Structure formats: C-alpha cells, structure tokens
Structure 1
Amino acid sequence: MNAWIEGARPRTLPAAVVPVLVGTAAAAGMAGLEGAGKGIVAWRAGAALVVALALQVGVNYANDYSDGVRGTDDDRVGPLRLVGSGTKSAGAVKRAALVAFAVAAVAGLVLAAATTWWLLVVGAAAIAAAWFYTGGPRPYGYAGLGEAFVFVFFGVVATTGSAFVQIEAVTPLTLAVSLPVGLLATALLVVNNLRDIPGDTAAGKRTLAVRLGDQRTRIFYVGLVLMTYLSVPFIAGLSARPLAAASLFTVVLARPAVQRVLEGARGPALIPVLGATGRLQLVFGVVMAAGLWLGA
C-alpha cells in the first residue's frame, strides 16, 4: 500500500485540490440559490474534488505505466516509479490508472446529470489527454506539450469547471482565477522536467525542458511564479473582492524554491523544490479561495 501511495505522487495532488477550491470560491455569491453556503451546493463541490483527484492520480499512474514500458524510467532520479523500479507489474499499474479514470468518470457523470451533458465531452477530453500524455504511439508529452496540457486541464478547465457546476456558466472571473492556478500547476511540472533533463534526453523524451535546455527552463519556472503574482491584483479588482489580494503574501513561500532553482540545484536537489512548489500552490490556492469566498 505504501508503494501505491508513493506511486500516486502525493506531492502533485495540490494541483487537483486547488482548482476546485478556487473555482468554487469564485462562484460563491453568483449561484443565486437560497440557503447557506453563499449559493454553493456542497455535494457538487465534493464531486468536482473527486473528479480532480481521481484524474490526477490516474494521470500519475498512466504516466508511470507508459514511461515504464518504454524504459524511460530505468535510470530515473526522483520519487518512486512503480513499473520502472519493478515494484509493481505494468499490468497492475495500468489497471490502477483505469480504475482512477473510472472513478473520475462516474463522479463526472453525476455532475453532468445535475447540470449539462456537455460535461461528458469535457470529461472524455480530459481522460484522453491524461492517457495520451505519455501513452499511445505518439505521446504529446514526449513532444514538449505537457505544460500546455497541465495549464489547460489542471488550470483553466478544472477551475472554470468547478465554478460551472455551481453557477452553470463561465464568467470573466472564473476564467481569470484559473490563470494563476494553471501557472502554478505548470510550474510544478516544469520543476519535475527540469530535474529529469539528463534522463529524458538519454531516453529520447523531448519534453519542453529538454527542448529549452537547463538555463531557459529555470527562467521559465521563475517566470511562471512571477506571472502568478502579477495576476492577483487584476483578479482582486475584476472580482471586486479585495481580500483575494491576500494571496500576494504567500510570495514569501515562493522565495526558497525560486532561489534553489536560480542557484542551479540539479537532480535529487530539486526534489525538495518540487515539494515546495506543491506547498506554495496549495497555500496560495487556499488563501485566494478564502479571500474570494469572504468577499462574495
């Protein structure tokens, strides 16, 4: 069980939790429903969280499986990979990924029945994108498009989708709050790929980090963090919820990770940066969500 938990890569789970928190908080006060919770339907928020977490775990297991059978993880530096390390069989990891995707599909089906069946199209696209990230004959993650996938699906789609299941609409605010969420989720992947540049290069995995090279990937990471905080005043003003600007204070948590990246940390030394980026995303998301909620 410990191996399965580690293989699910818990450090990446803030990328699933944060968009649900922020999207739901952005929808507060806009749903027009009677009762407590500022118009928020609690079970819909819970179902959205199940979808997001199951998709994150599913993509992690699917990535483990696909990279493992290709041999990409044979000399990996970083958290345990189940197939590459021989801890679990490829078939077992593949089944775990499919179970996680099935859980996401069932929760998504319930949300679609309560709102609009178009959510099934979005959900199918998310599952397909998760699988073909490193799976299939031409995985797009090997072509340097992984960051785009993360920004779109774990930023824009997850955040606006969490708001949509509450208010059944996409608004300028729900789109705006998805930007910093997506930027920090992308930064998480950038650190991961920065660490893996040597191994990915040897395995022929042309991630964006491999294509950019070590130095430009570091600049890219810092730029993602910087753009996150530049977006906050715009969001606070657009929403007329100034308390959302409190998320600017979380910049103190960004300093250690940014400093390690700029100082040239490599290989195993970047593993703590991955954890620090995940914590930054979680704290940023919680503070922004609280500000949006209290100001609604």
Structure 2
Amino acid sequence: MATPAQWLAGARPRTLPAALSPVIAGAGVAAWADAFSWWRTLLCLVVSLALQIGCNYANDYSDGIRGTDDVRVGPLRLTGSRAARPGAVKAAAFACFALAGVAGLVLAAVTAWWLVLVGVLCVLAAWFYTGGKRPYGYAGLGEVMVFVFFGLVAVVGTVYVQTQDWRWGGLWGGVGVGALTTALLVANNLRDIPTDALAGKNTLAVRLGDPASRRLYVALVLLAVVAVVGVAATTSWVALIGLLFLAVAAQGMRTVATARNTGPALIPALQQTGVADLAWALCVGVPLFFA
C-alpha cells in the first residue's frame, strides 16, 4: 500500500501551477470587467485542480499498465513502481474527476447548462490522453489538447462564468497560459524521448526529435510574450507587468538549451517552466484587479 507521501508524489505537485494559472489569469480579466466573484473563482479553482490531479493519476494508471513507466527518469509513478495497485490509482483519478464534476455542475447551474458539455469534454480529454485503446498522447497530440483545455478553455471558462460574456482578454490569457503549460509538457516529453520511444509512446517530442523539440519550447515561451501584449491591448496597459515572467522563464530556456542530453539533466526545466507559468498568471492577472 502506497504511503501518503507516495500518493502526494503521484499527484505530481510540480504540475499544479498549470491548474492555478488559468484561474488566476481569468479572475484578473473578470476583475478588470467589474465582474469578479470570489466563490465562482473558488469553484473554478476546484475544477482546475481536481482535473489536473485526476489527469496525473489517470496517466500514472494508463502508462503503468502499459509498461511505459517501467523505466523511469522522473518522479515516482505509483503504478509503474508497484507502490499502489492499478485499481486504486484508477479510482483516485475518477474520484478527482467526480469532484471536478460536482463543482462544475454548480457553476453550470448558475451560469449556463451547456457548460456541462464542456466539462464532459474536459474529463474525456484528461482520460484519453493516455487511456483507452488509442490514446491521443501516444499519437503526438498531447500538446495540442493541453493548449486547448488547460489554456484556452480554462481561462476563457473562468472569465465567462463570472462575466457571462465574451472577453478578448480572456482569449489572450488562454493563449499565454496555454503556451507555457504546453511548454511544460514539451519539457517533460523531451526528457522522456529515449524511454518513450522504446515503449512505443510516440509523443510530439519523439516525432519531432530532440533539436526541434527544444526550438518548440522556446517558441512557446515567445508566444507567451506576445500574449502579454494581447491581454494589455484588450484590457489595460498594467497587464504589461506580466513581461516580468521572463525573469523566471529564462531559467527554463537556459536549461532546455544547455542540457546535453535528455533525462535527468532536463528535470529542473519542469519546475522552472511551472513557476514561469504561475508567474505569468500572477504578473498579468493581479495588476488587473487594480486597473
């Protein structure tokens, strides 16, 4: 039986900034529009965190039973390391999805019922990333789906449940958060190219190869820079404070550029990118509360 510390490690806490960032950015845009609601923001945060942790456990389960995680470079995997029974890890994933569903239903009830469909799509995207007979993460589509669901959908959704209106600032916020969250996945998959290729997991990094994946990482960070300008142009100039995120993002770019090989040398890039993602959201979103 896995210990509480192992379950915490299996939840992959270093990825949780990817769940916090879209809610912070979306709440900032909603505040600029004079529509901020603390309890709706809190429910969005529950949905985002529960989906992120559920996705992590789902990936742990699906990769573990396929044998993809038999040889690990990164943090502990519960299923692959045999620290927990596969059924228990799967149950943890669906418990998280259920929690996200309950919070999402409350938001849909006070906003619009069609949001239930969005929630269902989010859960399906989380499960079939590595789950099912034809997981899209094994076909090189993981980065696309992360950009869409953990970027565009998460930020625009956070804005919409508060303003009940379309805001261009929300779209640009989704681009910025989505770009850095996708960069986090690129760094993770870049690290795992040798083991993923051996296991038949054809991620985008495996398909592109090492040099092109490193260039993609840099391009995503630059896209996040463009997104800061986009948010400022559609809300307030104070959002340009978000460019300060580059002070953190530069560390990740340096690690990705200088690490001589995939594997342990790239592990620091995961934390650096996650912090950069959170810094982007804080430096863009918080100033908008005072705009």
TM-score range relative to shorter protein: over 0.9
Q: What do you get for the CA RMSD once the two structures are aligned?
A: 1.0
Tell me the distance in 2 between the aligned counterparts of 1:275 and 1:39: 33
SS at match of 1:24: helix
In structure 2, the residue matched to 1:248 is: 243
Q: CA deviation at 1:230?
A: 2.4
Contact 2:244 2:283 in 1 (8 A): no
The answer to whether structure 1 residue 172 and structure 2 residue 175 are counterparts is no
Q: Which one of 15, 18, 22 corresponds to residue 19 of structure 1?
A: 22
> Partner residue of 2:138?
142
3-state SS of 2:80 partner:
coil
Aligned partners of 2:166 and 2:60: how far apart in 1? Answer: 34
Contact 2:151 2:177 in 1 (8 A): yes
2:43 to 34, 47, 50: 47
Output aligned runs, 1:200-279, within 5 Å: 200-239=196-235, 241-265=236-260, 266-279=262-275
Residue 109 of structure 1 corresponds to which residue in structure 2? 105
Tell me the CA shift for residue 251 of structure 1. Answer: 0.8
Q: Read off the aligned partner of 1:174 and give its amino acid letter.
A: G
Query: Which 5+ residue runs of structure 1 have no aligned equivalent?
Result: 31-37
Q: CA deviation at 1:271?
A: 1.1
What is the CA–CA distance in structure 2 between the aligned matches of 1:290 and 1:126, rounded to whole Å? 26
The one-letter code sitting in structure 2 at the alignment partner of 1:7 is G
Correspondence for 2:69: 73
- Give the structure 1 partner of residue 152 of structure 2: 156
Larger deviation, residues 259-268 vs 194-203: 259-268
CA distance in structure 2 between the aligned counterparts of 1:264 and 1:45, rounded to whole angstroms: 38
* Structure 2 letter corresponding to 1:291: P
Letter in 2 for 1:245: L
* TM-score, normalised via structure 2 length: 0.97
Query: Is the contact made by 2:188 and 2:270 (CA closer than 8 Å) also made in structure 1?
Result: yes
How far apart in 1 are the matches of 2:248 and 2:35? 32
Say if 1:18 and 1:286, in contact at 8 Å, map to a contact too: yes
Q: Report the equivalent of 1:197.
A: 193
Unaligned runs of 5+ in 2: none
Partner of 1:120: 116
Q: Contact conserved, 1:242 with 1:291, CA < 8 A, in 2?
A: no
The one-letter code sitting in structure 1 at the alignment partner of 2:165 is: A
- Give 3-state SS (helix, strand or coil) of 1:77's partner: coil
Match for residue 34 of structure 1?
A: none
2: distance between equivalents of 1:234 and 1:29? 15
Structure 1 pair 228/189, CA: closer, same or farther in 2 (3 Å)? same
Does the aligned pair in 2 maintain the 1:236–1:243 contact within 8 Å? yes
Counterpart CA distance in 1 for 2:151 and 2:212 is 23
Structure 2 counterpart of 1:13, which letter?
L
Q: 1:243 to 1:21 in 2, by over 3 A?
A: same
1:56 maps to what in 2?
52
Deviation, structure 1 residue 233: 1.9
- Segments ≥4 residues shifted beyond 4 Å: none
2:283 is matched with which residue? Answer: 287
Offset at 1:231? 2.4
Deviation per CA, 1:26-65: give whole Å up to 9, x if none.
01142xxxxxxx4322111100000000000000000000
Count of residue pairs the alignment pairs up: 287
Which shifted more, 229-238 or 149-158?
229-238
Tell me, yes or no, if the aligned pair for 1:245 and 1:291 is still in contact at 8 Å. Answer: no
In structure 2, the residue matched to 1:35 is none
Determine helix, strand or coil for the equivalent of 2:35: coil
Measured against aligned partners, the alpha-carbon deviations of 1:91-113 in whole angstroms (never above 9, x if no partner) come to: 00000000000000000001111
Q: Deviations over 1:69-106 (max 9, x none)?
A: 00000001101100001111100000000000000000
Alignment match of 1:3 (pick from 3, 6, 13): 6
Q: Distance in 1 between matches of 2:169 and 2:231?
A: 7
